[in-house]
Amino acid sequence: MSRALLVIDVQNEYFTGALPVSHPPGSLDNVLRAMDAAQARGLPIAVVQHAATAPDSPLFRLGSPAWELHPEVAARPRDVLIQKRLPGSFTGTPLAAWLEGKGADTVAICGYMSQMCCDTTSRQAFHRGLGVEFLSDATGTLDLKNYAGAVTAEELHRAVLVTQAMRFAKVMSTAKWIAGLGKCKE
C-alpha cells in the first residue's frame, strides 16, 4: 500500500467565516496531527483549497480572508496545493495525475466538510480504484438547516461515517491511522 494524505478545504471559512465547523471537537488538531505524521514518514501530502465559481460569492470568494488556508495548515509542509471549484477534489484538477506520479494507491482523507467535499472526494477516489481511509475525527461539519429540513452536526457526521464505511472507505480515527503507518510500505 502506498498512501497519500489529502487535506481538504481546511480554510478560514470554517473557522472565522460563515461556516464554523462544530463537530467533532478537536478535528483541526487531528488534521494537524495527520499532516505531521505524514510528513515525518515521508508520505506525499496534497492540500486542497476550494474557491467559489462566482467571483462575487459570499462563501470561499477567491482571494478573500475566508478563502485562505487556515494558518496552521498553510505553515506546514506539503507536496502540492490543488485548487478546486467543485466539491470533488478530482474534478477539473491535476489530483489524479499527481497521485499516479507518486505511485499512490490509497488516499487518506481529512478536512471539511464531512458530507460535502470529503464525501465526494472519497467516492471519486473509490470509483477510480483507489483505497480510501476516511479519518473520522479529522473531518467535520456543522449544524445544517434548509428547505429540506434540519440536522445536527453530530447526526450528519455520523451518517456520513456510516455511509462511507458501508462501501467507500475504511473509517478510522487519526490515532489508529497514525499507528497503522508503520505497518505497511509507504
**What is the reported pLDDT for 54?**
92
How far CA 161 is from CA of 60, 65, 166, in Å, comes to: 25, 30, 9
| Phi-psi group of 180: left, alpha or beta (phi > 0 → left; psi -120 to 50 → alpha; rest → beta) | alpha
Query: Residue 48's closest CA among 105, 125, 159, 103?
Result: 125
DSSP state of 91: T
**What is the reported pLDDT for 182?**
78
Domain 3-181 belongs to what architecture?
3-Layer(aba) Sandwich (3.40)
Contacting residues for 70 by C-beta, under 8 A, at least 6 apart: 10, 11, 12, 14, 15, 28
Q: For residue 130, give the 3-state DSSP assignment.
A: coil
Q: For residue 30, give the 3-state DSSP assignment.
A: helix
Q: For residue 37, give the 3-state DSSP assignment.
A: helix
Query: Residue 59's closest CA among 6, 114, 14, 116?
Result: 14
Burial of 80 (0-12, 13-18, 19+ CB in 10 A): middle
**What is the reported pLDDT for 183?**
57
Among all chains, which residue has been given the C-alpha cell 478563502?
67
Q: How would you write the pLDDT of the chain (186 residues) with one tens digit per residue?
A: 799 999 999 999 999 999 999 999 999 999 999 999 999 999 999 999 999 999 899 999 999 999 999 999 999 999 999 999 999 999 999 999 999 999 999 999 999 999 999 999 999 999 999 999 999 999 999 999 999 999 999 999 999 999 999 999 999 999 999 999 975 444
Contacting residues for 14 by C-beta, under 8 A, at least 6 apart: 20, 21, 70, 112, 113, 140
Contacting residues for 92 by C-beta, under 8 A, at least 6 apart: 84, 85, 86
As given in the structure block, the three cell numbers for residue 147 are 428547505
Domain boundaries of the chain, sorted by first residue = 3-181
pTM of the model: 0.96
